[in-house]
Amino acid sequence: MSPNAEWPKLSVLWGRSPSSSDLEAELAALRALGFARVAWTLDHAGSRDNPLVTERGRARLAAAASRTGTSISSVIADYFASRPLIGDTARASALVLERTVGWAAALGAERVVVRIPGEVVLRPEIAVELATHLLRALGLGAELGVGLALAADAPASALVELVQRVDHPALGLAYHTGLAAERGRAVAAEVEALGQELTMLLLGDAEMGDGPRSLGHGRASLPQVLGRVARARPACDLVIAPPAGDDARFEALRALNYVRLMCARGALGDAA
């Protein structure tokens, strides 16, 4: 990556507030901050109010994106962390996943991120059931041009093993630097270990035992993390994940400026 280049696929995580009545104003504000790509969230708690889940809502979101010069680049489906694709919720959630792939395709999104419980990754006997539902959704995604990425609170080696077990070219991994830092993981080393399976990197702050740790510091050193990704997976989606709340736009802008600063300084190409 050249020193002055923008990251080719830079998005911001948005849509966690169910009170998003003026979608055009929200997307216009994000565009003004410098974000042309938006990763839209689907969680269980606010799913009924999410524009993704109704035809009218998707039409509004698509129209707002078109008028503001933004695009919905992906859907971050935290929904499946609390309604997993295993056990009692498997059948209903599998249907939701297939619908989510369709919704993503209708908006022109490239990928759906499926957040799964960490225990699924660590228990192969459970992962077999998960793989069955994933393969069905991946088949639909192949027809519609939408890939999947798994995200979970689990070690990098276990995540890679799971993706390789499912063995589908449109399945990858999404990794959240802030959440990994909170668990005490060596983020840069784990990102490197994910290798070619890494398709999305979510950048967020970490809430450590001694207080909040801002993006780019401590275990989640941004130059180290992005430096390794830039060399190994330059086509990886980069998603800035600000904390939900009234300061979300400010936090998104702060993170964006920091990423741009690293690019301008050429730090990404030099980081070890």
> Tens of pLDDT along 72-109?
999 999 999 999 999 999 999 999 999 999 999 999 99
Of the candidate ranges 4-8, 84-88, 264-268, the one whose mean pLDDT is the lowest = 4-8
Which pLDDT belongs to residue 212? 47
Which pLDDT belongs to residue 189? 86
> Tens of pLDDT along 157-184?
999 999 999 999 999 999 988 888 778 8
- pLDDT tops 60 at residue 59: yes
Question: What is the pTM for the complete model shown?
Answer: 0.89
Share of residues in the chain with pLDDT > 70 (%): 83
| CA-based max dimension of the chain | 51
Which pLDDT belongs to residue 54? 92
* Residue 204 belongs to some domain of the structure: yes
- pLDDT tops 90 at residue 142: yes
**Considering just the CA atoms, what is the radius of gyration of the chain in Å?**
18
* Residue 15 belongs to some domain of the structure: yes
Q: In sequence order, what are the residues at sequence separation of 6 or more whose Cβ sits closer than 8 angstroms to the Cβ of residue 184?
A: 219
3-class state of residue 190 by DSSP: helix
How many domains, the chain? 1
- pLDDT tops 90 at residue 55: yes
> Tens of pLDDT along 223-260?
777 777 777 666 789 999 887 777 788 888 888 887 77
Which pLDDT belongs to residue 234? 63
CATH of the domain at 212: 3.20.20.150
* Residue 39 belongs to some domain of the structure: yes
* Residue 223 belongs to some domain of the structure: yes
Could you list the residue range(s) of the whole structural domain that residue 96 is in?
A: 10-270
Which pLDDT belongs to residue 11? 92
Which pLDDT belongs to residue 271? 40
- Say how far apart CA 94 and CA 85 lie, in whole Å: 6
* Residue 177 belongs to some domain of the structure: yes
Residue whose structure tokens are 């890494």: 198
- Say how far apart CA 104 and CA 98 lie, in whole Å: 10
* Residue 3 belongs to some domain of the structure: no
Q: In sequence order, what are the residues at sequence separation of 6 or more whose Cβ sits closer than 8 angstroms to the Cβ of residue 158?
A: 121, 122
* Residue 4 belongs to some domain of the structure: no
* Residue 5 belongs to some domain of the structure: no
